[in-house]
Homo-oligomer: A and B are copies of this chain.
């Protein structure tokens, strides 16, 4: 059985290709919810349409998956659908206690959306390894390389290993006018120092493939006339080399301890939330994607995915490959995110031909 994409609306809801209408309804929801996933879903359906229109006879069945919650927006867990489908025991346990910021539990939210009706145990959602012979995902690059080099197709050979860290500092706070500088232990300045230390340690790794970002930095109470008494940071670090990435994490931890000591603030939290291993694309899928690009007269390039995707988790239960297309300046997760119709069409053609090739064996 060949897997192109497989639909998981709320949790493990299978859709055959004949039920297109419902798929499209759900897709509109996904379009409202996010941006970078749209081409992956619509493109997969169009690729199958292309094969249908061309009269191609499938030797394996094709399925479309739309994963729920690739973005960690509601429950703070990225790739929630694919992670659980791929059999994450840690996630299965965590979801029992997970709630959104309105304090609605994940299980209640799933039930009210019509899923997980009688399920206290989400392991029924797990897919067995070998359920699919191949998994292929089409995605915008979310980086500037293809656009800058004028190349049509990125053939992904590996997905960089992401790790997330949550850090909390606590100080005594106080009034911004009344507490003199020597008497302060400002949690916000500790956070500012750590943000700059993250950048420093990443740049010191010696590899262009190491990246680190402080995307969240929140101060409490967050008033102009209050010294911050608490600061919360969320740090994302990635690398294609797991050891090098973990070494950066260790240096960030050391910096957090040193900063806390020097500023007399408390390091009240340093939690590595996830530390996923990297994933490699499967050789036969890489080959099929390259050959497809060549036969379509499209320039292509082997490349690393520095963003991670549902494919990172699907790789745990199926051979995996990814096709990238150029996007404007590498922008993603913001209104300026854009891919041209021509580039999307190229990606869909390569996906269709790749599926055709893989389904012949």
Contacts and interface: CB of A to CB of B under 8 A. Distances in A.
Given A72-B223, A214-B219, A215-B222, 16 more contacts: A78-B225, A142-B178, A143-B179, A143-B180, A173-B334, A174-B333, A175-B306, A176-B211, A176-B238, A177-B307, A178-B332, A188-B215, A215-B221, A217-B219, A223-B333, A226-B333
A350 to B, nearest CB: 20
Interface of A: 71-73, 78, 141-144, 160, 162, 164, 172-183, 186, 188-189, 191-193, 195-196, 199, 202-203, 208, 210-219, 221-229, 234-236, 238, 305-308, 329-334
Contact of A211 (B144, B177, B215, B224): B177
A75 to B, nearest CB: 13
24 contacts: A72-B223, A143-B180, A174-B329, A174-B331, A174-B332, A175-B333, A177-B307, A180-B208, A181-B199, A181-B202, A181-B210, A181-B211, A181-B212, A188-B214, A192-B195, A193-B196, A196-B196, A213-B226, A215-B224, A217-B217, A218-B222, A221-B334, A224-B235, A225-B307
A213 B333 contact: no
A31 to B, nearest CB: 18
A225 B236 CA distance: 6
A307 B229 CA distance: 17
Contact of A178 (B141, B182, B212): B141
Contacts of A192: 191-193, 195-196, 214, 217
A249 to B, nearest CB: 14
A183 B214 contact: no
Contacts of A203: 181
A142 to B, nearest CB: 4
B196 A330 contact: no
A215 B144 CA distance: 35
A261 to B, nearest CB: 17
